[in-house]
Structure 1
Amino acid sequence: MTDTWLNETLYPDWGQRFRFTRQLARVQSPFQDIAIFETDSHGRVMTLDGVVQITERDEFVYQEMLTHVPLLAHGAAKNVLIIGAGDGGVLKHVLMHKGVERAVMVEIDGEVIDLAKRFLSGIGGDAWNDPRADVIVGDGIDYVAQAPDGAFDVIIVDSTDPIGVGEVLFTDAFYQNAARILTPRGIVVNQCGVPFMQADELAETSRRRAQFFSHVSAYVAAVPTYVGGYMTLGWSGKDAASTRLPVEEIARRAEAAGITGKSQYWSPEIHVASFWLPPYIAKHLP
């Protein structure tokens, strides 16, 4: 039998490939090409426009770090806004926190949600039916522009890179409105790419965020299928102390939130250490 390979198309001169056993779905939505493959090595894999977005095997790294870090750094987040994240993983991890009263998720492409529910059901789990969840198929830019001042404690942006449908989530207008709709100690986090290959992405988005937030930083997570070393998660906040909490305080907050012992990558120690950046990454911050 001839091997069938999925070749990722993120970079023109470097990449990765997955041997897959079958293609489960392929949909051309109004926004992008969506495909889901079955592999022996990584379980099911979702791609958008040929770029790997998530795999069943390592999705926990990205989801845990994108959610637990800002929520525990805030310490009292009740209202959380999620932009993108159509696979449901961020929503599931946000709702693990007992103190969260409302999680609004705005995903522009309903096909991503539908396919994730059908073929990646373990990633979102029961989050779709949680009464605290408000899932909206719509434009996150419009939602943020129209939301009232101080409506959210934490904003989590889980988008593609700043090309195509994800480009508008990296603009001045978006960050300005994000700052407006956050509470006084509010935090927004967003993926900023793999700086070994995408350093301009981190530098440019950091410069933009610094116009509207007094504290701009980044933290890192090692996600195997986001090739090129550490993935950076951009941090924009109104209180610099939120990134300098000791391990003991993060552990206390995790216990109170009800997430202790429920993670595979995140831990209080990893949380604190993730803000200590290698010089090759730190030099791209303001």
Structure 2
Amino acid sequence: MEPAATVVALVRSAHPGPALAVTVLAVALAVSADLSGGRVALVAGAVAAGQLSVGWSNDLIDRHRDRQVGRSDKPLATGALSATLTARACAIAVAATVVLSLLCGLVAGVVHLGCVAVAWAYNLGLKSTPFSWLPYALAFGGLPVFVELADPGAGPPPLWMPVSAALLGVGAHLVNALPDLADDEATGVRGLPHRLGPRRTRWLAVAVLVLASVVIVLGSAAVPVWLVVVVLTAVAGLGVVALVADGRTPFQAAIGIALADAVMLVAGR
């Protein structure tokens, strides 16, 4: 395979969308916390490396299931990417995650490594249990704690930040699972969304994401009033759309609520 095609396949297998979204959120939190440029770079590198390891390990572990259901968007399932190369890339990402996380400080590094570890636990089996939501809650909830502690001498963030981030993570899990419920069930994955079914998963996702918005508004005095009004109006409208629309529109509306929550989480710092 041509080197360029291999690189493209590696990027596709790393779940680039979620990896980029989480990294951008971490950077935005770091900038809003007034971390130095060097610290922001370390946070970005640690989170990006961790997300790459999570994405690659997910596709490595699931490659046989993905092949079974004909996932043409998965390079490991189609044969466009070798498992050996992906495993090597994943190992490098893990090593980078450990080094970069600990360079952010011992306590901060341990927190971030814990976030990555629970994400791996999801890949390794928790995704098929009623507790599939828990790794998302812990990993997202730990992200603002890691960023805050990456500032030397800083203490943990106010409680509303990890709580709202954890709710955002649970909502992201429910939303992310919606398009793949049928394929997952066909290969034995029975996480919380699969047990609830599409309709109840949609309702719970909207409820959790709206609750995250409420926690941010009640917990932070830093969010400008105009932004609160704009975001909550948008969240309410998107919530209605997510509950009554058909097709992929509810999925897209829930993603919109999650993005609005992320904006307020950063603004509320």
Please report the TM-score for the alignment, with normalisation by the length of structure 2.
Answer: 0.34
More helix by share: 2
More strand by share: 1
Please report the TM-score for the alignment, with normalisation by the length of structure 1.
Answer: 0.32
